Each structure stands twice: as C-alpha cells, then as structure tokens.
Amino acid sequence: MKKSIVSVLFVAFAMLGSVNIAHAAGDAVKPPKMEWSFSGPFGTYDKAALQRGFLVFKSVCASCHSMKRIAFRNLEALGYSEGQIKAIAAEYTVMDGPDDEGEMFERAARPSDMFPSPFANDAAAKYANNGALPPDLSLITKARVGGADYLHAILTGYEDAPEHVHLMPGQYYNKYMSGGVIAMPTPLIDDQVMYEDGSPTTVDQYASDVSHFLNWAAEPELEVRKRMGIKVIIFLTIFAFVMYGVKRKIWSDLH
C-alpha cells in the first residue's frame, strides 16, 4: 500500500514538474516564419547569402562558438576557389603532432582541417563566458526547434527587460528565449561587418545571412537530397502509370 502511495506521489510530482517546464517554455514568443531560398521541395541555397553568413560567423560568432564538424575544404560549396580556401584556412592555427621530439605544436590550418574551437576545452569556454558553455554551431539548426527561423529570432530578439523580469549579472533579455533570459550578450549591431556586395549592414541582414550559413553547415546535402527526392517522385509516378496499364491489360480478359 505504501509503495502504491509513493508511486502515485512520484508521478504527481513528475507531472507537476512537466507542467512547470512547459509553462516556462511557453513564456517565449514564437519565432516568426521567415522566407528562405532553401525552403520547399525546390529550394536551394543562395551562395551570396552563404558567403555573407560565413563572414558574419568568422567575424562575430567564431570568437565564442566552435563549428567542429565543418572542414575548411567544405567551403567550396559556398563558391570559394581552392586558393581562397587555402587563404581562409591559413588565418587559423591548429594543434598538431607529436613531432620527432614527441612534442605537440601549432601550425597554420590547411583546407583538410576542421574549424578549430576558440577555446582549449569546455572548462576554459565556461570560464570565459560566466559559466555558460557556448554551443557548437555545426548542427545548431537541427538542435533547435524552428531551425533557421529560431536562430534569426534569437539574434534579433534582444530588448530591454520588462519590469517583472529580474536579470542577474551576465544575463540578458531576449523575448524569443525560454523564460526570456539568455547568457549571450547582444552579438550583432548595425554596421558591424562590411559587405563587399553592397547588401545592407543591419542586424536583420546579418541575422538572416548567418542563419542561412548555419543551416547549410547543418544540412550541406540539402540540395542533393531534394534533387534526388524529385527524381524518385517522378520515377514512382511513371512507374505507377505503367503498373496501372499492366493491371488493366491483365484483368481485361475477365470483364
């Protein structure tokens, strides 16, 4: 009997906790739906937006966030030449070794290297960010509900905190964040990164471009997958008509 009561209480408290979590998540404003060139069955990535987004990542995001699953040579998909990729990689240093003396050493990155983390380890990252660990951005659009829409919303959702919201030191108010509280300070400001193609240098444009780029980082195969899907649908449609004709031919003698 006592075990049954304990079980019921445990379930009740678990449900109460779930309600509280759901309520906290409900405090966040739903990210607005954005128009992306890669949306829909025929969507494709905009290479100009990808290059601008990479520039924003490299100039702003890379100081705190890693992108461990992307190699420099993958930037070829963004329209960069082999020479440009080598030049971009050379801007970074990576740890290599051991050498002939058994020592690790630093060297300039090569196209085959992955993007290095800005911190030596997670402990160093937390220490530099008031105890918060900046997430790796390689798969961030898959790890967050809403994908690119969510990223754009977070990057543009910083506001002065309402009177009822109390922020601790190192915390900021973002209406799209669960509970409205985020540890990341406002990362983007107007005219922060210069674009060579004449695109607007606004927070909204930066947020759109870097969200576009990070969606590519998470789904570099998106265009190939969509093309294959269309081919499969066309094949199955033709196959269905062929099989329908075969069925009519076989059963015609029975009518």
Two tokens, residue 120: 């030596």
What pLDDT is attached to residue 130? 86
- Domain regions of the chain by residue span: 45-70+114-218, 221-249
What are the tens digits of pLDDT across the range 43-95?
A: 999 999 999 999 999 999 999 999 999 999 999 999 999 999 999 999 999 99
Quote the CA–CA distance of 216 and 212 in Å, as a whole number.
7
What pLDDT is attached to residue 249? 83
Closest CA to 168 of 181, 151, 155, 153: 181
What pLDDT is attached to residue 173? 96
What pLDDT is attached to residue 39? 96
CATH superfamily of 45-70+114-218: Cytochrome c-like domain (1.10.760.10)
Two tokens, residue 248: 């009519």
Two tokens, residue 140: 């961030």
DSSP assignment string, 207-220: HHHHHHHHHHHH-T
Ranges of residues in the chain whose predicted pLDDT is under 70: 1-27, 254-255
Quote the CA–CA distance of 74 and 220 in Å, as a whole number.
9
Quote the CA–CA distance of 52 and 48 in Å, as a whole number.
6
Quote the CA–CA distance of 163 and 89 in Å, as a whole number.
47
Q: What are phi and psi of 150, to 5 degrees?
A: -65, -45
**Residues 208, 147, 178, 201, Cα dihedral to 10°:** -10
What pLDDT is attached to residue 100? 85
First vs last C-alpha separation in the chain? 70
